[in-house]
Structure 1
Amino acid sequence: MESGDDPDTAEAQRKKRYHRHTPRQIQALEGMFRECPHPDEKQRMYLSRELGLEPRQIKFWFQNRRTQMKVQNERADNCSLRAENDRIRCENIAMREALRNVICPTCGGPPAGEDANLDEEKLRMENARLKDEVGTSTLPLALLAHVDYYPLHSLQTFVLLRLQLDRVSSIASKYLGRPVSLLPRVQPVHVSSLDLSVGSYGLPPSTAPSLDLDLLPGSSSSVPPLPFPPVGVSEVERSLMADMAAGAMGELIRLVQTDGPLWTKPGGDGRKEVLNLESYDRIFARAGNQLRDPDVHPEASRASSVVMMSATALVDMFMDACKWMELFPTIVSRARTIEVLSAGMGGRSGTLLLMYEELQVLSPLVATRDFFFLRYCQQIEQNLWAIADVSVDIFRANPLPASSRSRRLPSGCLVQDMCNGYSKVTWVEHMEIEEKTPVHRLFGSLVMKGTAFGAERWLATLERMCERFACLMAHGSSSRDLGASSVLSTDGKASMMKLSQRMVNNFCASICASNGHRWTTLSGLSDVGVRVSVHRSMDPGQPNGVVLSAATSIRLPVPPENVFSFFRNEQTRSQWDVLSNGNPVQEVAHVSNGQHPGNCISLLRALNASQSSMLILQESCTDASGSLVVYAPIDVPAINIVMSGEDPSYVPLLPSGFTILPDDEPAAGEEASTSSNQYPAGSRGSLVTVAFQILVSSLPSAKLNMESVATVNNLISTTVQQIKAALNCPSMMS
């Protein structure tokens, strides 16, 4: 395209599409690259004449090719290092098994060596003598407490290791031909190192460490490590876990297929059902449960619905820890498969997994719940699948503290394929919970009634996410005034949804009250205050540097649907959004995420804004369990990359937003304060969490100063006051 000297052609120049080289040009360039990756000016001029390209195009092609080659080499090096790491890990496992056989020959085959038979007989005699010593001694209470989970043989072996570590080490060294160190002497473990509670690692507020505002070395990264060491499962333990999983599967099926009087509907409406504990104890012969610990309260609920996904697709996502987190980003903050105990058929029927999960409510005021559990999948009939979960204690030498008595009783779901791409899912949640920290009064009713972690919330989220995946397969989405085509391509839509999903996941993780976040409460906003946390961001897709997260939760005497509509309204956004600089916003692109009009992804542009190159990416979603509005600034070049269908993994995002949960309990004094309001007294209110993330410095080594903390405290306090004023809520409402 010839531009000439006319300045009016600038717009055409910007819209000019990227040049695609012909196969002949690429072949010639590749041939030169193999001979000389860094051509000089003469060589570039020669290629320019031969191929009909500009010297600048030649230069850029070689730069990009060298970058691509560097990435490929680094990827190959990473694969090589990963393979070496796997090899060393396998060697480590083999050595551990060899040591286990040497320590106790009755567990496996005889050790190798010329004098194997003689030394094995000596070991047997020594083992018998030590067993007699153990029989006349008292086992540690921590081990006796877990005798139901681990066989006596394992307990004896553990005690033998502690009594005769030096003696067994010398014998093992003879077989391996070199000195070995079997096991470290077990030291008492502090409760705080195993407690997986909210905020400051489960310590009382008076003893909890305060937030280190100077970011000393060792401060948390954006992805906190999982709170448990690698765990090896013996064959005996594997068999016991299989029996436990089979029992849980049988109980789950009975819970799903049995109706009243086992299940009752509170209020007589809705799809949520709660468990009748007396009927449960009688049907499942749980006589011991009649004397329940008053500090441990049961939560059991059941719900059923039809979702837009096939049964096999659902089963595959449930049995994959990463996909499990992607399917429930608002509930599952962390998950991991610790060990595959049984692979089953195609990863489905007969598969038994040992897993870890951390469950959350989207507010730093509510403690997370974490479980080590078994997940067992079984195909009951041709089109019927069952997935059962049950808690299991995987810590042998260092059991979880007695204060942590929360556990998942047989729970899970039945998934029936409807043969039309839909599935009927019946979900059962059954837990015994001991709240390690008091539940804040704002969320007391939501948590204590079992709504926060109940079956209805899981199922409502599943329905919405299945609709989201179905919309991903639909063709075409509207786009206005962005220099792009009027309809997004399928690849562009998928890329935009992927970017938005990552934004939502990051936002949910940023306000999680998990063990990996250390929250500090600032004064203001009544007794709730503003909670702040800081971490170094080094992950791809996030701005590098020091990130400050701030959040607070408030109660508004406004129905949740009204609050959700307020945050999504383009006309009223300037009343609370600092990114719009007080200007109205216009939607320039829209991607539908579900049947509800509020489930969508939007690109917003602030009108009359000074930074015309900055847009706002926003995703809003709502279902019966609550609503979410998440947004983040993004520049035009980055969004053009996304809308063209390219991989958005490295587009940096730092999201902020709001969570909206329904609350049926009126706050103290609310009846009187809302008498003159447009909403009737005693109507359903909303629990709103406001959260911001701010990049304090782009240098990872930077330190956080109090000025930044004061700025974000003022920002979030001002935003809350503006929201209350816009919704005609009393300023003292919290």
Structure 2
Amino acid sequence: MPAGIMISARQMPTLIGTGGPAFGSSSGLTLGQSNLMDGQLNPLEIAQSTAESDVGRMRDDEFDSKSGSDNHEGGSGEDQDPNSRKRKKRYHRHTQHQIQEMEAFFKECPHPDDKQRKELSRELGLEPLQIKFWFQNKRTQMKMQHERHDNTQLRAENEKLRAENMRYREALSNASCPTCGGPTALGEMSFDEHHLRVENSRLREEIDRIAAIAAKYVGKPVVNYPIVSPPITPRSLELGNFGGQPGIGSTELYGAGDLLRSIGGHTDQADKQMIVELAVAAMEELTRMAQIGDPLWMPGIDNTYVLNEEEYFRTFPRGIGPKPMGFRSEASRESAVVIMNHTNLVEILMDVNQWSAVFSGIVSRAMTMEVLSTGVAGNYNGALQVMTAEFQVLSPLVPTRETYFVRYCKHHVDGTWAVVDVSLDSLRPSPLARCRRRPSGCLIQEMPNGYSKVTWIEHVEVDDRGVHNIYKPLVNSGLAFGAKRWVSALDRQSERLASAMATNLPPNDVGNTVITSTEGRRSMLKLAERMVTSFCGGVSASTSHTWTMLSGSGADDVRVMTRKSIDDPGRPPGIVLSAATSFWLPVPPKRVFDFLRDEHSRNEWDILSNGGVLQEMAHIANGRETGNSVSLLRVNTISGSQNNMLILQESCSDPTGSFVIYAPVDVVAMNMVLSGGDPDYVAILPSGFAILPDGPAGHGGHIGEGGSGGSLLTVAFQILVDSTPNAKLSLGSVATVNNLIACTVDRIKASVAGENA
């Protein structure tokens, strides 16, 4: 009923203008509201009846003399005497021809001007004033008809709302709580009693859920417990029972049941029910896999744990089905303590933009397809969303792994948080799918002083026959996409974020002459972060349409892509070429990393520095590893000529890989950044290196200390070849980029080989 009142009030300005005196007065409005409360006539009905009487009166009068649409004779003295009785006016109606002509003109032009009215008066033998008044009355008549139609619809809607309101009132007056048996209205019980009843209901539903999952996935019997009140069909604010499994979900997803029934999109109700049931089962599996040790998990190489596949299928016999033909199973577990509050970590994992930015070296692109539940107000407990993502190794020689999955977040009763992913292959079957994600994700335990303990599980089945031979040992070992890589990236990024949020300048930053404020330091780190993200998005063999692959680029071992940059404040406008290649070096990854990040050895491989000597103008350490830093370099040319270009460089290393990424930056733009300005409008094109081990590191526990001791190096350049976005790409530009990357590779091989000798 409140909705009906609101609609009636919205129509009041129009209705008052066309209604009778009773409704136009304040007393009429008060009467209408009173009648509405008593279940009698409401203001909308009064307005409707008034409008209908007005229209009827106009039809009876057939446009009176006041409108000027009729010809009447002049009045006599008796007519002009106010004390005498007025004589009835004599009306002259328009002919059928005149009405038809004006009706036809009205359809084309309801508001004729003076010239058009004079033309009509000559054609029809009427006065221009008669034409004017006829059109005025015609417009009034049309308006009244429209209003009557609108009022009829509003009255029907009002009646529907009244009936619905009465039905709800009757249902509420006889309803009782289906879980505790108490009254439904809060006013009939104390707040404490209501809180205890809700908590009691929640605990009972939790027992239902665990018992149902145990019966379905583990084979254990459902535990019986005493029921205080008889079971009743779940209400609309609960998730309900899916697939005949009692108790699955109402505690798991607060409000998700209502969302599953009401939200639109391409996912139908049956699919939503399956998604919820699959997510709940995946959460249970992930939690158990994180807690169970031997024999489910066995010690593997490089201090990691690998999955005993036979024991896994014995422990979880149902899951998402058998492994597809030709697929290889890959599963690992890793734990670490990171410098990040558990709340912030959950937010990063549940926000697709933050998640893909923090893990930019692993996630080449990601998108949330549909949000089925946002969780409890204020946090992500019970959040459920359907996503698609593409996982990468920074090399054009390793195909990306694209997956379509559901992500589910839960706050466990012991205080830990869990975020789980599981593939939805049955919803979108594709013969081209080469990867599916069994329950994977992490458990997050709150630690003192803002730290969190993270236990990560990565479990996929993949067809990776497209991987190049030099990368197969790394990929087959599980280190390329495994849990150790996720945890290492998270640990490194948590250190970087802690450095960016620091309010006091570290001692090694205080000595910098160019960074004089905390704001400037944060702006420089933010620009470097965007540089790294842009570099990672242009290196891997992604299927993203951001870049266009060029066929026949002239070099079989170099992958060349192009992209047009238009109205992007973060990139210079024009045509950008991205060229990348990967190769093997018989040198440990750490030595390659130290060689490439050192500004003193840069002129040995950097052709664009023109043999100049690089000087470090600023240095920001952003991790406990020595090489994890952001630097600002200046090229001092041999001739001593003025150089208006600086180089922004970030180098970072963790136990699974290293990166050296750089981009030329204009001096004026960099000065703006160092003064605390917004770095998002600084145009940069990053280039750099990704350094990975050529295989597992044995039992040494760190890259380069075991295995063959070699490195897999990816070299990638992004170069602006034409400042006009609509220009045609020339083959000469492609050849120039190919020659540049080939020359850089040759120089690196020669320099590193000389050091190794």
For the superposition of Structure 1 and Structure 2, which TM-score range results when normalised by the shorter chain? 0.5 to 0.7
Tell me which residue corresponds to 2:538.
Answer: 510
d(CA) in 1 for partners of 2:576, 2:347: 35
**Is the 8 Å Cα contact of residues 364 and 513 (structure 1) preserved in structure 2?**
yes
1:715 to 735, 740, 751: 740
**Is the 8 Å Cα contact of residues 521 and 529 (structure 1) preserved in structure 2?**
no
Amino acid at match of 1:562: R
2:663 to 615, 618, 632: 632
1:408 to 437, 445, 459: 437
Tell me which residue corresponds to 1:392.
Answer: 424
Question: RCO higher in 1 or 2 (8 Å CA, sep ≥ 6)?
Answer: 1
Higher-helix-fraction structure: 2
Cα–Cα, structure 1 residues 590 and 394, in superposed 2: closer, same or farther, change >3 Å? Answer: farther
Cα–Cα, structure 1 residues 286 and 237, in superposed 2: closer, same or farther, change >3 Å? Answer: closer
Tell me which residue corresponds to 2:710.
Answer: 685
1:642 to 667, 670, 673: 673
1:253 and 2:287 aligned: yes
Amino acid at match of 1:232: H
Cα–Cα, structure 1 residues 403 and 698, in superposed 2: closer, same or farther, change >3 Å? Answer: closer
2:520 to 484, 492, 498: 492
**Secondary structure in 1 aligned to 2:753?**
coil
**Is the 8 Å Cα contact of residues 522 and 531 (structure 1) preserved in structure 2?**
no
Q: What percentage of aligned pairs have identical amino acids?
A: 49
In the TM superposition, residue 513 of structure 1 has moved relative to its aligned partner by 1.1
In the TM superposition, residue 285 of structure 1 has moved relative to its aligned partner by 2.0
Matches for 1:259-658 after TM superposition, within 5 Å = 259-267=293-301, 270=303, 272-286=304-318, 292-345=323-376, 346-381=378-413, 383-393=415-425, 399-435=428-464, 438-474=466-502, 475-476=504-505, 485=513, 487-516=515-544, 517-520=547-550, 529-538=557-566, 539-608=568-637, 610-658=641-689
d(CA) in 2 for partners of 1:521, 1:529: 12
d(CA) in 2 for partners of 1:681, 1:649: 42
**Is the 8 Å Cα contact of residues 342 and 451 (structure 2) preserved in structure 1?**
yes
2:271 to 234, 237, 242: 237
In the TM superposition, residue 449 of structure 1 has moved relative to its aligned partner by 2.0
**Is the 8 Å Cα contact of residues 515 and 618 (structure 2) preserved in structure 1?**
no
d(CA) in 2 for partners of 1:681, 1:241: 43
TM-score, normalising length: structure 2: 0.61
d(CA) in 2 for partners of 1:500, 1:305: 26
**Is the 8 Å Cα contact of residues 554 and 735 (structure 2) preserved in structure 1?**
no
Tell me which residue corresponds to 2:217.
Answer: none
2:752 to 711, 727, 730: 727
d(CA) in 2 for partners of 1:726, 1:522: 30
d(CA) in 1 for partners of 2:754, 2:467: 25
**Secondary structure in 2 aligned to 1:372?**
strand
**Secondary structure in 1 aligned to 2:449?**
coil
CA deviations on 1:547-594 (whole Å, 9 max, x unpaired) are 111111010010000000000112110011123211121100011111
Cα–Cα, structure 1 residues 512 and 292, in superposed 2: closer, same or farther, change >3 Å? Answer: closer
In the TM superposition, residue 286 of structure 1 has moved relative to its aligned partner by 4.8
d(CA) in 2 for partners of 1:520, 1:353: 35
Cα–Cα, structure 1 residues 665 and 466, in superposed 2: closer, same or farther, change >3 Å? Answer: closer
The number of residues matched between the two structures is 482
d(CA) in 1 for partners of 2:482, 2:509: 41
d(CA) in 2 for partners of 1:681, 1:324: 32
**Is the 8 Å Cα contact of residues 615 and 634 (structure 2) preserved in structure 1?**
yes
In the TM superposition, residue 477 of structure 1 has moved relative to its aligned partner by 5.6
In the TM superposition, residue 287 of structure 1 has moved relative to its aligned partner by 10
d(CA) in 2 for partners of 1:519, 1:439: 18
Cα–Cα, structure 1 residues 450 and 729, in superposed 2: closer, same or farther, change >3 Å? Answer: farther
In the TM superposition, residue 231 of structure 1 has moved relative to its aligned partner by 4.9
d(CA) in 2 for partners of 1:363, 1:257: 34
Matches for 1:131-210 after TM superposition, within 5 Å = none
**Secondary structure in 1 aligned to 2:278?**
helix
**Is the 8 Å Cα contact of residues 252 and 410 (structure 1) preserved in structure 2?**
yes
d(CA) in 2 for partners of 1:473, 1:454: 29
Cα–Cα, structure 1 residues 297 and 418, in superposed 2: closer, same or farther, change >3 Å? Answer: same
**Secondary structure in 2 aligned to 1:329?**
coil
d(CA) in 1 for partners of 2:497, 2:646: 25
d(CA) in 2 for partners of 1:285, 1:330: 34
**Is the 8 Å Cα contact of residues 352 and 376 (structure 1) preserved in structure 2?**
yes
**Is the 8 Å Cα contact of residues 553 and 734 (structure 2) preserved in structure 1?**
no
**Secondary structure in 2 aligned to 1:620?**
strand
**Is the 8 Å Cα contact of residues 478 and 486 (structure 1) preserved in structure 2?**
no
**Is the 8 Å Cα contact of residues 523 and 529 (structure 1) preserved in structure 2?**
no
In the TM superposition, residue 642 of structure 1 has moved relative to its aligned partner by 0.2
In the TM superposition, residue 364 of structure 1 has moved relative to its aligned partner by 1.2
In the TM superposition, residue 664 of structure 1 has moved relative to its aligned partner by 2.9
Cα–Cα, structure 1 residues 658 and 635, in superposed 2: closer, same or farther, change >3 Å? Answer: same
Greater Cα offset, 514-523 or 709-718: 514-523
**Secondary structure in 1 aligned to 2:600?**
coil
CA deviations on 1:576-615 (whole Å, 9 max, x unpaired) are 1123211121100011111112111000011235452211
**Secondary structure in 2 aligned to 1:497?**
helix
CA deviations on 1:529-555 (whole Å, 9 max, x unpaired) are 111111101222101100111111010
Cα–Cα, structure 1 residues 481 and 499, in superposed 2: closer, same or farther, change >3 Å? Answer: same
Amino acid at match of 2:280: A
In the TM superposition, residue 241 of structure 1 has moved relative to its aligned partner by 1.1
**Secondary structure in 2 aligned to 1:728?**
helix
d(CA) in 1 for partners of 2:735, 2:320: 54
1:698 to 710, 717, 723: 723
**Is the 8 Å Cα contact of residues 514 and 617 (structure 2) preserved in structure 1?**
no
Tell me which residue corresponds to 2:85.
Answer: none
Amino acid at match of 2:660: V
d(CA) in 2 for partners of 1:566, 1:521: 33
**Is the 8 Å Cα contact of residues 613 and 635 (structure 2) preserved in structure 1?**
yes
d(CA) in 2 for partners of 1:655, 1:373: 31
Matches for 1:42-191 after TM superposition, within 5 Å = none
Cα–Cα, structure 1 residues 614 and 284, in superposed 2: closer, same or farther, change >3 Å? Answer: same
**Secondary structure in 1 aligned to 2:603?**
helix
**Secondary structure in 1 aligned to 2:450?**
coil
**Is the 8 Å Cα contact of residues 330 and 461 (structure 2) preserved in structure 1?**
yes
Cα–Cα, structure 1 residues 709 and 444, in superposed 2: closer, same or farther, change >3 Å? Answer: same
d(CA) in 1 for partners of 2:755, 2:591: 16
Cα–Cα, structure 1 residues 510 and 610, in superposed 2: closer, same or farther, change >3 Å? Answer: farther
In the TM superposition, residue 335 of structure 1 has moved relative to its aligned partner by 1.1
